[in-house]
Amino acid sequence: MKYQSRMIAMASMAAFALAGFSPAALALDVEAAKDLAEQNNCKQCHGIKKDKDGPSFLKTAEKYRGKANAEDEIVKHLTSGKKVKLADGSEENHKIVKTMPPNDMAQIKNLAQYILSTQP
Amino acid sequence: MTQSDPGRLGWWARLKRPSAKHSVLALAAVGFVGGIVFWGAFNTGMEATNTLQFCVSCHEMRDTVYQEYQYTIHYSNRTGVRAICSDCHVPKDWTHKLIRKIKASGEVWGKITGSIDTKEKFEAKRLELAQHEWERMKARDSIECRNCHSFEAMSPELQKKTPYKKHMEAKAAGKSCIDCHQGIAHKLPKGYKKPGTDDEEE
């Protein structure tokens, strides 16, 4: 019991520490973000550091580094399906991210944070 | 898990004890065979085995894959054509159906032994179960998918450009749906990476 509550205290301290690095209030769950990207085939068009049809996640992170509205912009991008240009010049609507249950903003925000946290 | 479940521990302990072995094992065997017969009776007698209700009558299926499936396009979509469990998991022709059924006796066994009777056990075994299905589908060129879909019926005008291009390349290269479409009806196993999404991290 004592051990358990100490673990909880430590975990929440770690969570606070993590949150301190990013402007967001919640701690980033990297594994959940990766799994969501995998399930949605995002990596078909985005490398972590490599451009494919779309920009690498690193490039996006750098584009938004230090911008206050970064997370909202990414969330909007992932939920609106606006037209984007592919490498071969053709256009198509950007993939709208699917979650289980549908439109779970917590999961989508977590994915946005994960993308924005990409480091060189 | 087993430790905190005295009922099951007792069951196993008794099973392992030589003196009691015969009767309990015999009992298990009867249950096992009974389960197969039960499964078989449903399957041949009527097509009831293939209904969603039958598959989710076990909590092992209902509390896990079924929950996720309900959020996917094969459960609910614009045109109202639903693919149910058996459409993807039970072959339509007799011989392969029989093979699947005999393999399904592993599910009855799994039910008896509680192989995935908790969320934790399910997660731990999920990759293995998924791999069985991937192999099974791959071996028959994703026939279950192709009962409803085909490369030929894909419209270059109506399908998005990227998938269309991929599909025509895949057709030429002799690839199968399941090579690329994993995790369409359920979540992927945690931490699983699809083949071909070349990944430069780590």
More confident call, B201 vs A60: A60
Partner-chain contact B200 A53, CB within 8 Å: no
Q: Which tokens belong to B117?
A: 């009777």
Collect all residues with Cβ–Cβ distance below 8 Å to B179 and sequence separation of at least 6. Answer: B138, B170, B195, B196
How far away is chain A from the Cα of B160, in angstroms, using its nearest Cα? 7
Helices (H), chain B: 6-16, 18-40, 52-55, 59-62, 65-69, 85-89, 94-113, 119-139, 143-146, 161-172, 177-180
Lowest mean pLDDT among A13-22, B29-38, B105-114, B185-194: A13-22
What residues of chain B lie within 8 A of the CB of A100, using their CB? Answer: 67-68, 71-72, 187
A44, A93, A102 ranked by CB distance to B197: nearest = A44
- The 10s digit of each residue's pLDDT in B76-92 is 999 999 999 999 998 88
The answer, yes or no, to whether residue B7 has pLDDT greater than 60, is: no
- The 10s digit of each residue's pLDDT in A31-64 is 999 999 999 999 989 999 999 999 999 999 999 9
Q: Which CATH number fits domain B26-180: 2.30.30, 3.30.70, 1.10.10, 1.10.3820?
A: 1.10.3820
Residue A28 pLDDT level (bands cut at 50, 70, 90): very high
What residues of chain B lie within 8 A of the CB of A50, using their CB? Answer: 200
The answer, yes or no, to whether residue B31 has pLDDT greater than 90, is: no
Pick from B88, B97, B90: nearest CA to B146: B88
Complex confidence, ipTM: 0.72
Q: Which pLDDT value is given to residue A10?
A: 47
- The parent domain of residue A94 ranges over 2-116
Partner-chain contact B160 A92, CB within 8 Å: yes
Instruction: Domain ranges for chain B, please list them.
Output: 26-180
**Domain at A112, CATH number:** 1.10.760.10
Residue A105: burial class (beta carbons within 10 Å; 0-12, 13-18, 19+): exposed
Q: How far is CA A41 from CA B38, B88, B185, in A?
A: 40, 21, 14
- The 10s digit of each residue's pLDDT in B101-158 is 777 778 888 999 999 999 999 999 999 999 999 999 999 999 999 999 999 999 999 9
Enclosing H/E stretch for A110: helix A105-116
Q: What is the mean pLDDT of chain A?
A: 84
Q: Which tokens belong to B201?
A: 């991290």
Q: Backbone phi, then psi, for B156, in 5-degree steps?
A: -65, -25
Q: How many domains does chain A have?
A: 1
Which of A29, A30, A31, A35 would you mutate first to test chain B, the one with the most B CBs within 10 A?
A35
Residue B25 pLDDT level (bands cut at 50, 70, 90): low
Phi-psi bin for A27: left (phi > 0), alpha (psi -120 to 50), beta? beta
Question: What's the pTM?
Answer: 0.86
Nearest CA in chain B to A43: B197
Cα B198 to Cα B202: distance, rounded to the nearest angstrom: 12
Asked whether the bond before A101 is cis by omega within 30 degrees of 0, the reply is yes
Collect all residues with Cβ–Cβ distance below 8 Å to B188 and sequence separation of at least 6. Answer: A35, A38, A39, B130, B182, B194
Unique residue bearing structure tokens 């015969």: B22
Q: Which pLDDT value is given to residue B106?
A: 86
**Contact status of B202 with chain A (Cβ, < 8 Å):** no
